[in-house]
Amino acid sequence: MLKRAFSSRIWPNLVIGLLTVGWILGVQPAFAQQQDTLVIKLPGLEVEALRSSVTESSSPYAVFLLARSTEDVVRQPGLSLHSVLRGLPGLTLNDRGHYALGERLLVRGMGWRSAFGVRGVHVLLDGIPLTLPDGQGMLDIVDPAFIRRVELVRGPSSTFWGNGSGGVLMLSTDAFSDTFGLGVRVMGGSYGLRNVSANVAIPIGNHRVSGYVSSVQSDGYRDYSAGNFTRAAVTGLFDLGNYTQLRVVSGFAVQDTESPGALTQAQLAVDRQGADLRNVNALAGKESTQIQLGATVFRELASGMLSVTAFGLKRQLDNPLSYTYIELDRQVGGASIQFQSAGERARFGVGVDAGFQSDDRVNRNNDGGNPGTQVDLDQQEDVRNLSAFVNGQIDVFENFVLSAGVRADQIDFSLEDRLPGSVGVSGDRSFSAFSPSVGLTYRIGNGQVFANYSTAFETPTTTELVNQPNGSAGLNASVGPQKTNGFEVGGRGRLGRSTMDVAFFQMFVTEQLQPFQDASGRTYYVNAGQNKHTGFEVAMLSRLTRHVQLQATYTMSQFQFDDGELLYNLLPGIPVHHLVLGFDGAWSGLRANLVADFVSLTYADDTNLAENDGYLVMDFGIGHDGIQIGGSKLRPFGRISNVLDNEYNGSMVVNAFGGRYYEPAAGRALQLGVGLSF
């Protein structure tokens, strides 16, 4: 029996929110015909995340494409992925309110176990995988403010990307232009927010270059949650002849942040803005530096398109925690070769991917936020991945397309223990996977219906393999990969003045990787039974009147344990019901939007005894298209987050020891800024 989903406390706020929305629609002035959207759909464009010549209209998978206009980039604060990507169907993003752990990102429940970073979802930034060969991903280098294009594949995708691909999120920041452009932006706000950024677009003959740099600092809503980020990126697209292009991307990020930790229910009642004293006393936090570089050569052949990609990434991390001090030096590299045929009725693609990950990890005692002299762990962890894939499409008859693909992966883990006197703890583990998929698409008028069967696998990450419950070094031999089989039917297209996207899915996850914590706060993993994920998603973009636009997204997620011990319990950290409503309008150069986010009650642990109440949060933003000043434009903007000043927990640490589940979200906050473009 499905447990209750909405807390009764949400209904008064829900009524207030609906009345506010009604008021806006009722007194809306005669807006100019300029469009301003939360999401700009991109119908008919090729879906790069599917690694084949598939467009949104021919894809048998639930995909969602969006782009942020130049006006959106300039006038929206873009302080978190949650604020930028909120409203994508099937995507759950929890903003923890501090930078130390990164935002909690899930696609149809995949990645729910993650205590930090991203698990179970393959993420790429400007073509460079942020998901590493071992399946973990860190998004520190992503600056949400400069995201221009997003592709979301909402379902098992190991056919295309291998390990850790329960879904795919592909982000792009390039802003190529045929004319020179320069922009600067300054912003300040509540809780000590300070932000300065600049972006540039440079055409050089037939070549294009774009880039950005930004610095953001915040004192934080909670005690001991201050942090700062500096990020930069440069992307270039170069013509090397009539049939060849070179794309070069680079990125850089430096982070220094405090970590307030999660709170218990009792601590919330005393002080929502407080921090876990264990973290404060240990000066827990994170300092990291990440640099990455990648290049892709595209060569158009008579029979199709050949692309060759190579990339490298280096990350340095100093991570004092309440129970240890982690020093990590990570190097990652990879390459791929892919050919996609050109054909009218039949098309195919083949490719090979290879990657390596090398982690130099040292754990010491935490000496007041500094590395101590006692070395508890000193080891070299290496991961190697080699895979091959093939996919194809055939137009069986008019409007009916059959798609299929398969991928084989081999992933090898090895560990060298360098602690003096260690015996028998070095070793290796190997995992292999075979990931098929098949799908059907039928075009009907301005839309299409589709169905598919797809698969995913997910190995334990290096962090999860080296954390052994007995505290010893080495690789945990009792933990293995989880596997997912997914079935899906859906449809998308235009209906009158609206664009619709609907999908129903069911996924079966076996050998589920499940987290648990000990008293120190360290997280361990076991393969525990199986899960069944059942859900429904609907997204709509509609012009309600000539001048008012609505974006509505509803996601129903009934994700249950399907084993004897926790049978029918819901997976923690995922709401059953999630509804996002967004309204946009423009008048005399002014653009305004109101977003209402309704989230149902969520459980914090596997037993479903610890709860996180449902909530409503509303944000309001306003900005100007630009006041002409000579050859430049001045664009002021402002935003009020959590307009109703509701108290709610925006994120949770599931299955945390001692009931320390809750990460409180900020109260009402104001951001004001101005952009200047030349």
Q: Which long-range contacts (CB under 8 A, 24 or more apart) does 565-569 make?
A: 565/529, 566/529, 566/606, 566/607, 568/1, 569/603, 569/606, 569/607, 569/608
Q: Which of 448, 586, 595 is nearest to 43 (CA)?
A: 448
* Predicted confidence band of residue 11 (pLDDT cuts 50, 70, 90): very low
Flag whether pLDDT at 4 surpasses 70: no
Residue 50: helix, strand or coil by DSSP?
helix
Task: Give the residue, 297 or 523, on which the prediction is more confident.
Answer: 297
- Residue 143 in domain: yes
pLDDT recorded at residue 27:
33
Q: Please tell me the distance from the alpha carbon of residue 39 to that of residue 151, in angstroms, as a whole number.
A: 12
Over the stretch 569-590, which tens digit does the pLDDT of each residue have?
Answer: 999 999 999 999 999 988 888 8
**Span 228-265, pLDDT tens digits:** 999 999 999 999 988 999 999 999 999 999 999 999 99
**Per-residue model confidence as pLDDT tens digits over 153-212:** 999 999 999 999 999 999 999 888 889 999 999 999 999 999 999 999 999 999 999 999
Banded model confidence at residue 15, pLDDT cuts 50, 70, 90? very low
Mean local confidence (pLDDT), 444-462: 92
**pLDDT, position 590:** 87
Higher pLDDT pick, 462 / 552:
552
Of 466, 574, 358, 463, nearest to 115 by C-alpha is 463
> Strands 104-107 and 118-119, how do they pair?
unpaired
pLDDT over 90 (residue 116): no
497 in any annotated domain = yes
Residue 188 belongs to domain with CATH number: 2.40.170.20
Residue 425, pLDDT score: 63
**pLDDT tens-digit series, residues 482-521:** 999 999 999 999 888 889 999 999 999 998 877 776 776 6
Is residue 618 assigned to a domain?
yes
What confidence score (pLDDT) does residue 183 get?
92
CB 503 within 8 A of CB 89: yes
Using an 8 Å Cβ cutoff, are 46 and 52 in contact?
A: no
DSSP SS3 for 511: coil
Could you tell me if residue 2 is inside a domain?
A: no
Which pair of tokens denotes residue 304? 């199709």
Quick one: pLDDT at residue 520?
Answer: 67
Q: Which structural domain range is residue 653 located in?
A: 10-677
Determine the Cα–Cα distance for residues 59 and 443; give it in Å rounded to an integer. Answer: 10
pLDDT of residue 91: 94
**Both tokens assigned to 278:** 């264990």
Tokens of 646: 């509701």
Domain membership of residue 560 (yes or no) is yes
> Averaged over 442-459, what is the pLDDT?
93
The answer to whether the Cα torsion of 373, 377, 382, 383 is positive or negative is negative
Q: Could you give the CA distance from residue 34 to residue 419 in angstroms, rounded to a whole number?
A: 65
Mean pLDDT of 607-614: 94
**Chain centroid offset of residue 304 CA:** 32
The mean-pLDDT minimum among 42-46, 102-106, 337-341, 371-375 falls in: 42-46
- How far is 117 from 288, CA to CA, in rounded Å? 13
Give pLDDT, residue 585.
Answer: 87
Q: What is the pTM of this model?
A: 0.90
Note the pLDDT tens digit of each residue in 267-282. Answer: 999 999 999 999 999 9
pLDDT at 422: 64
Domain count, the chain: 1
- Closest to 539 in 3D by CA, of 497, 588, 488, 579: 579
Does any domain span residue 1? no
pLDDT at 524 over 50: yes
Question: Residue 81 in 3-state DSSP?
Answer: helix
- CB-based contact 516:524 (threshold 8 Å): yes
Report the distance separating Cα 404 and Cα 422, nearest Å: 49
Residue 674 pLDDT > 80: yes
Q: Say if residues 426 and 380 touch (Cβ distance below 8 Å).
A: no
Question: Residue 628: which pLDDT band, with cuts at 50, 70 and 90?
Answer: confident
Using alpha carbons, select from 300, 193, 310, 302 the residue that is nearest to residue 250: 310
pLDDT tens by residue, 363-411: 999 999 999 999 988 989 999 999 999 999 999 988 899 999 999 999 9
Q: Which long-range contacts (CB under 8 A, 24 or more apart) does 3-6 make?
A: 3/570, 3/603, 3/608, 4/601, 5/575, 5/576, 5/577, 5/600, 5/601, 5/614, 6/577, 6/600, 6/601, 6/614
Higher pLDDT, 655 or 594: 594
DSSP state of 234: E
What CA–CA distance (Å, rounded) separates 170 from 121?
10
SS3 (DSSP) at 25? helix
Decide if pLDDT at 457 tops 70: yes
> Does residue 5 sit within a domain?
no
pLDDT at position 45 is 61
Instruction: Give the pair of three-digit tokens for residue 181.
Output: 């452009």
Q: Are strands 128-129 and 122-125 parallel, antiparallel or unpaired?
A: antiparallel
- Average pLDDT taken over every residue of the chain: 87
